[in-house]
Amino acid sequence: MTYVPHTDADRAEMLAAIGVERVEDLFHDVPTACRFPELKLPEPLSEMEIMAELQAMSEENLDVNHFTSFLGAGAYNHYVPRIVDHVISRSEFYTAYTPYQPEISQGTLQSIFEYQSMICALTGMEVANASHYDGATSTAEAVIMALNVARGKRKRVILSPLIHPEYRAVIRTYTQGMGLDIVGDDDPASTMDDLTALLDDNTACLIVQSPNFFGQIEDLAGLADRVHAARAMLVVVADPISLGLLKPPGDHGADIVVGEGQALGNGLNFGGPYLGFFACREKDVRKSAGRLVGQTVDAEGRRGFVLTLSTREQHIRRERATSNICTNQALCALATAVHLAALGKTGLRKLAELCYHKAHYAANRIAALDGYQVAMEGLFFKEFVVRCPAPVKAINDFLLEEWGIIGGYDLARDYPGLQNHMLLCVTEVIRREEIDALVEALAEAAREVTP
């Protein structure tokens, strides 16, 4: 099955119309020595067979529907209302291309405009694009934008050590040819004062994440003033669910707000597809990357929407473009928009509070256990760090084997000084009984697992 509709008669007539005898004759430009290689691939399967194979393969995994999971660390298990999948499964949305012909793409364009509007409201910013590949790449593009705003004259980038480690890695990958001076993230104990002490007249931007990788809400008050005093930009990596509760980074004076939008409307999907959101100030928009939808009118004066400021983009500006981004994550952004609209003004606040209260309940109970310490200084949102009496790997193995619980993230993976430290995440999908079970399981692990 190749989804090709041609009958044998069609093929023959089409070849005749072209004026060749055989299909092979169409490939005479291909070097003979390389033409028609054998492909060693598995035998073709029918639809029924491939679904059976995939069903079996998928069942080789343990999934979070069957095993309570306390993993977060940048990918979050939130409930996605059913309506989201219904909307994004509309053929008219998911089998369309990038909306280059606005007259027959108003559905995509208007839905992106609405997404932009909602992201602006959420972040407290003036312009949002749609979209980047994920939180990591939107953060890297924020760095590039800050370099462009500084017209390439500033080379220092200050990173909080509590930005997601993979985001920091992606920033370094993206900019490896640019000769930057990336500083600030070598010591996880660095404070905001330590970071701002690094500001100088070569600094393009300072980036913080709030809630940070350890789940703590950073104190952003006054930070923008200090960054702006050095004529640098403040970039904040935010969790969109937390913004249902917390003061938006825009109100704190951030110049660029980015983050991972997956938690809104998109499932875990083993790490992708997700979407990076990206919001900035209108004065800087021409230095920004990615696709923007703007409102305009048609020839009869009716409201309509188009891709705009494309002169920043690769298909017009080529080597002088602000980024090379083309295909991004439009359908994921649509899912985010539908989820945001479904939650609305009150729903997102309630959702954020559910996460907050449940995470605090879990943290308080774990803090009371012998052998465990919870880092309780400062405020946290839905994730928190627990110091365990044994290596995290051993605790997690015990939780899974004895209790069917997928435990937290092992912080020693990224922070060698944090052996035995686990990052736990609690969202609205976790029920009180499941938290209680985790607490009991951890208590048992403290007794059973040798340090």
Residues between 381 and 440 with contacts to other proteins, criterion CB under 8 A: 393, 396-397, 400, 406, 409, 428, 431-432, 435
Candidates 8, 327, 377, 447: give the one binding other proteins (CB under 8 A).
327
| Site membership for other proteins, residue 155 (CB under 8 A) | no
> Could you tell me which of 142, 382, 172, 173 has the C-alpha nearest to residue 249?
142
Sign for the pseudo-dihedral over CA of 388, 390, 394, 397? negative
x/- map, 62-81, other proteins, by CB under 8 A: xxxx---x-x-xxx-x---x
Q: Count of residues binding other proteins (CB under 8 A)?
A: 207
Interacting span for other proteins (CB under 8 A) from 55-63, 185-193, 227-235, 441-449: 55-63
Cα separation, 255 vs 224, whole angstroms: 8
CA triplet 172, 226, 212: central angle to 5 degrees? 50
Q: Which is nearer to other proteins, 126 or 444 (CB)?
A: 126
Q: Which is nearer to other proteins, 233 or 426 (CB)?
A: 426
| Site membership for other proteins, residue 281 (CB under 8 A) | no
Nearest distance, CB of residue 441 and other proteins, angstroms: 16
- The DSSP letter of residue 206 is E
Which strand (E) or helix (H) includes residue 216?
A: strand 216-217
Interacting span for other proteins (CB under 8 A) from 192-200, 229-237, 335-343, 439-447: 335-343
Residues in 2-31 that interact with other proteins by CB under 8 A: 2-6, 10-11, 13-15, 17-19, 23, 26-31
Nearest distance, CB of residue 182 and other proteins, angstroms: 12
x/- map, 172-201, other proteins, by CB under 8 A: xxxxxxxx----------------------
Residue type at 267 in one-letter notation: G
The answer to whether residues 276 and 134 touch, using CB atoms and an 8 Å cutoff, is: yes
Query: Residue 100's CB: how many other CB atoms inside 10 A?
Result: 11
Cα separation, 139 vs 259, whole angstroms: 7
Which strand (E) or helix (H) includes residue 113?
A: helix 106-123
Nearest distance, CB of residue 387 and other proteins, angstroms: 19
Cα separation, 403 vs 406, whole angstroms: 9
Nearest distance, CB of residue 228 and other proteins, angstroms: 20
Candidates 154, 358, 382, 421: give the one binding other proteins (CB under 8 A).
358
Nearest distance, CB of residue 126 and other proteins, angstroms: 7
Interacting span for other proteins (CB under 8 A) from 121-129, 155-163, 190-198, 222-230: 121-129
Residues in 200-229 that interact with other proteins by CB under 8 A: 217, 221
Interacting span for other proteins (CB under 8 A) from 84-92, 185-193, 196-204, 233-241: 84-92
- In the block, tokens 């913004």 appear at 243
The answer to whether residues 387 and 375 touch, using CB atoms and an 8 Å cutoff, is: yes
Residues in 284-303 that interact with other proteins by CB under 8 A: 285, 291-300, 302-303
Candidates 343, 395, 422, 424: give the one binding other proteins (CB under 8 A).
343
Candidates 68, 203, 212, 328: give the one binding other proteins (CB under 8 A).
328
> Could you tell me which of 340, 338, 333, 334 has the C-alpha nearest to residue 133?
333
Candidates 150, 199, 236, 243: give the one binding other proteins (CB under 8 A).
243
Peptide bond into 210 cis (omega under 30): no
Nearest distance, CB of residue 211 and other proteins, angstroms: 11
Candidates 155, 166, 192, 202: give the one binding other proteins (CB under 8 A).
166
> Could you tell me which of 266, 246, 236, 337 has the C-alpha nearest to residue 76?
266
Interacting span for other proteins (CB under 8 A) from 53-61, 154-162, 369-377, 383-391: 53-61
Half-sphere exposure of 244 (CA within 13 A, CB side): 23
- In the block, tokens 């409102």 appear at 295
| Site membership for other proteins, residue 251 (CB under 8 A) | yes
Candidates 155, 226, 350, 387: give the one binding other proteins (CB under 8 A).
350
First to last CA, the chain: 56
Locate 77 and state its tokens. Answer: 């298990």
Chain centroid offset of residue 410 CA: 20
| Site membership for other proteins, residue 40 (CB under 8 A) | yes
The answer to whether residues 73 and 425 touch, using CB atoms and an 8 Å cutoff, is: yes
Pairing of strands 409-410, 421-425: antiparallel
